[in-house]
Structure 1
Amino acid sequence: MLTHPQNLSHATGYQYAAGLLLAIGLYGSTHDIDFAEVRRSFRVVLVAVTVGVLVKASLIATVMVLAFDRPEYLVLGIAVAQIDPLSVAATQKSDRVSPRAKAILSVWAAFDDPMTVLLTLYFSALAVRYGAGPAGDGSVVTDTATVFVDLLLNLGLFALVAALWWAAAAWLGSRGPARRAGARPAADVVALALVVALILFAAQDMMVLAVALTGLFVRLGRFGAGLETAVALAFLIASALLGVVLASGEVFLREGLVLGASAFAAQLVVTLLISRLLVRPRLAWPDLAHLGFGQQNGITAILLALALEPRFPGTVGVVGPAIVTVNLLHHTFQWARVDRWRRDLSTAPESQHTATAIGQEMKPEPG
């Protein structure tokens, strides 16, 4: 198969493998999120990962279709609309922004991924309606209903897993004040078994919202360290698959640059809308910049591109350069942010003032 890379995206088991890698990445992105963070920013994040994702995808898709007049480019808005949670986790070290802004971006990045996967079916069907790919049956109303059914199925699967987990935890006595000795290791084994079974099942039909929600509630305990390795391995495999598919086809550099720039700009637009309408008290400039310039793409964009490639050939050739463009823009704008220069200009006087104050405090009083 690797000697003929053009056949990779049509190989038996390809779609399942893409879904499996995606499920591992999404579970890993939500596994370490503090549920208290979700509660504190629930309204903002809920709008961001529903209306926000839809607006971003629509803006990006509109730019691509108007710029290149190709109906199949509707799906590209989906492929890069989400924020990569792994990249966000690696860049949340700045002390220029508040813990509140960091929490909002972390939860936003974790949950816009499964929403974009759910919308992939809808946008793919729209692209088919407008003449891209093979002919399709049904209508836009049918496609919309299918998306809602998929959403309900995801929630039902999550409810089943959550019920099994709570029942097992109660039976083992690993919750509440009266914990049995040795219950936690047993609970970790049960959690691992549930998560593995869920991921294997969910990968068949891309039921990744259920996987992401499970990550908030079912924690792996002593097996958590192995999860980081699994996510890193999934990223490496996805990157390798992307390279193989790119090597077998044409790279569309111009389209990729436009797609990446559109995704970066769409994140800023959605951030400004959400912050003005929903966030109280208002975000300070450093926090607003942290969210507005927070667009990054990684494993989810790679896997969505790989999943879309069989139906829309050339998707990987556009999304590959777009991922590079988005990440370059992100790091450039983070480096050039106004608040960074303000802080640099004020560092020396502030440090001198602080040293003087400390010296005065340490000076012994007369007598």
Structure 2
Amino acid sequence: MRKWWGAVRRKVPPAVPGIVLGAVGALVAGVLCGLAVDPSALAGTWGYTFGTSLLLAVGLYGSTYGIDLAALRADLGGVVAAVTLGVVLKAALIAGVMVLAFGRPAHLVLGIAVAQIDPLSVAALDRRGRMSERARSLLMAWAAFDDPMTVLLTLYAAGYAYAAAGHRGAPAIAGGGAGGWLTGLAMNAALLAGVVLLWWAWRRAAPALAAVPPLRRAGEVAAGLLVVLMLVLAAVGTLMLAVAVAGLVVRRRVFAKTLGRAVATAFLAASLVLGLFLAQGVALWPGLLLGATAFGAQALVALFVMPLFVRGLERRDRIVLGLGQQNGITAVLIALALEHDFPGTVAIVGPAVVTVNLLHATGQSLLARGAGPPGTRGEPRADQERHSSCDGPSDTDPRAVAPDPLGEAPGQESSGRAAA
């Protein structure tokens, strides 16, 4: 098996990371499994919901964990614009194209399903040499924080689309309405407050624990268990906003390697789940159009709207953000939630997700080929490519600093100073 994989990997262009090949393999495996077993019965079960939510939580935490906080503070206005105005504009553009193409009011919800950028895909596929740290932080924050906005849009747009399609009453997806959304927001705040409080207490005790090796090891285990507990609770209650914000605070360099592996594993699992539902049938032409429109909407917003809120972005960074649309487990989860009220949503969103990711991979490959020889602006050096989005700075990175006793992740402030 190892020899076969090595032979396949040698034939693939260097611009295609190994995780992409793994995702393709997982997707094919999911399709084969879906042909043998109908997974639709699992979609409404607690175990399935918990498992997919856990995948999303891992992706959100991995995405915000890798954000440079200084870059985020500098472009906070741009991030807010991206996750509010940007998401609304993208959803409107996509929904408009789908309704004009097929004349079905129910297609309004399709724009919501794919308008967000999937944080798990961004965290798993990030290659920091393709863009500046500033653009990278913008994209990762965009991916991490547009999910709550998408949920809010789903509650309202689904009700309008349901009525426009000629149905009476309210769709099941909007069962909580605005009150349910506010309750969820309060629960997110409670989880975040609890995690941050425990993290603050742990950091206060960490210097004393560091003096005794056995206690230091126990402290490291406790810190890791806190993150695991947070992810599990978030998956149980679908409290994803708390996880996204916690990724900006709960940071340690010792998490990087484990988190990188967890993100990659979750990405492969999400590809497997997508394959299960693709096997149940696809609406190919609507899916292709939906995917291409979503990719194009991202390019329009990034190239023409974002420069109004983010000044000084280099041309290459604007292009990278324009090619930044990725979809995955988030789109699948939204499609599954909408399937009950809008039958056929999964059959359209499934091929759309594949289309978006193929366009993304193609764009990144073309961008890499046009970057020039290694060492030029925007081209990753060999030592840079070995680091995932969750890694700390490399030895050759000018931001690298000697690790301190607490081992904070890059960009985290500690003891009145900011770690580089």
1:257 aligns with 2:292: no
Distance (Å, rounded) in 2 between the aligned partners of 1:131 and 1:184: 60
Greater Cα shift, 321-330 or 77-86: 77-86
Note if contact 2:110-2:345 (Cα within 8 Å) is conserved in structure 1: yes
The change in CA–CA distance for 1:146 and 1:333 in structure 2 (over 3 A counts) is same
Q: Is the Cα–Cα contact under 8 Å of residues 301 and 319 in structure 1 kept in the other structure?
A: yes
Encode CA deviations 1:62-81: one digit per residue, 9 max, x unaligned.
22233223333233222211
Report % sequence identity. Answer: 50
Q: Is the 8 A contact 2:118 2:143 kept in 1?
A: yes
Please list every run of 5 or more consecutive structure 1 residues that lacks an aligned counterpart in the other structure: 348-367
Separation (CA, whole Å) in 1 of partners of 2:128 and 2:255: 25
Cα distance, 1:179 vs structure 2: 6.1
SS at match of 1:13: helix
Q: Structure 1's 25 and 58: CA in aligned 2 closer, same or farther, altered over 3 A?
A: same
TM-fit CA distance, 1:215: 1.5
Q: Which of 124, 127, 138 does residue 92 from structure 1 map onto? A: 127
Q: CA RMSD in A?
A: 3.3
Query: What's 1:46 paired with?
Result: 80
Match of 2:227 in 1: 195
The verdict on how the C-alpha distance between 1:257 and 1:10 changes in structure 2, with shifts beyond 3 A counting, is: same
Inter-CA distance 343–61: structure 2 relative to 1 (3 Å threshold): same
1:298 corresponds in structure 2 to 328
In the alignment, residue 275 of structure 1 is paired with which amino acid? M
Which residue of 184, 197, 200 maps to 1:166? 200
Q: 1:109 aligns with which of 140, 143, 150?
A: 143
Structure 1 counterpart of 2:298: 267
- Bigger CA drift: 196-205 or 303-312? 303-312
Residue 191 of structure 1, CA deviation: 2.6
Residues 159 and 130 (structure 1), Cα distance of their counterparts in 2 relative to 1, 3 Å cut: farther
Alignment of 1:3-22 (within 5 A): 3-22=37-56
Helix, strand or coil at the partner of 2:237 = coil
Please name the residue that 1:320 is paired with. Answer: 350
Cα 1:38/1:60, change in 2 over 3 Å: same
Q: Which has the higher helix share?
A: 1
TM-score, with length taken from structure 1: 0.78
Q: Could you tell me the TM-score, scaled by structure 2's length?
A: 0.69
* Alpha-carbon distance, 1:253 to partner: 0.7
Q: 2:244 aligns with which of 206, 209, 212?
A: 212
Q: Rate the CA distance shift 1:129–1:93 in 2: closer, same or farther, 3 A.
A: same
Amino acid in the other structure paired with 1:323: V
Are the equivalent residues in 1 in contact too, given 2:54–2:231 (CA < 8 A)? yes
Amino acid in the other structure paired with 2:206 = G
Decide whether aligned partners of structure 1 residues 288 and 164 sit closer, same or farther in structure 2, where only a CA change above 3 A counts. same
Worse-matched range after superposition: 191-200 or 180-189: 180-189
Query: How many residues of Structure 1 are paired with residues of Structure 2 in the alignment?
Result: 336
**Gap runs ≥5 in structure 2:** 1-33, 377-420
Aligned to 1:363: none
Q: Secondary structure at the match of 1:10?
A: coil
Larger of the two Rg values belongs to structure: 1
Answer yes or no: is the 8 Å Cα contact 2:332–2:349 preserved in 1.
yes
Q: Match of 2:347, SS?
A: helix
How do residues 121-132 of structure 1 correspond to structure 2 at under 5 angstroms? 121-131=155-165
- Maintained 8 Å contact 2:114/2:294: yes
The 8 Å contact of residues 294 and 325 in structure 2, kept in 1 or not, is answered as: yes
Match of 2:187 in 1: 153
1:12-36 Cα offsets, whole Å, 9 max, x none, are 5332332222112212222232322
Q: What is the Cα deviation at residue 214 of structure 1?
A: 1.1
Instruction: Tell me: CA distance 1:184–1:104, structure 2 relative to 1, closer, same or farther (3 Å).
Output: farther
Question: Which of 99, 119, 126 is residue 65 of structure 1 equivalent to?
Answer: 99
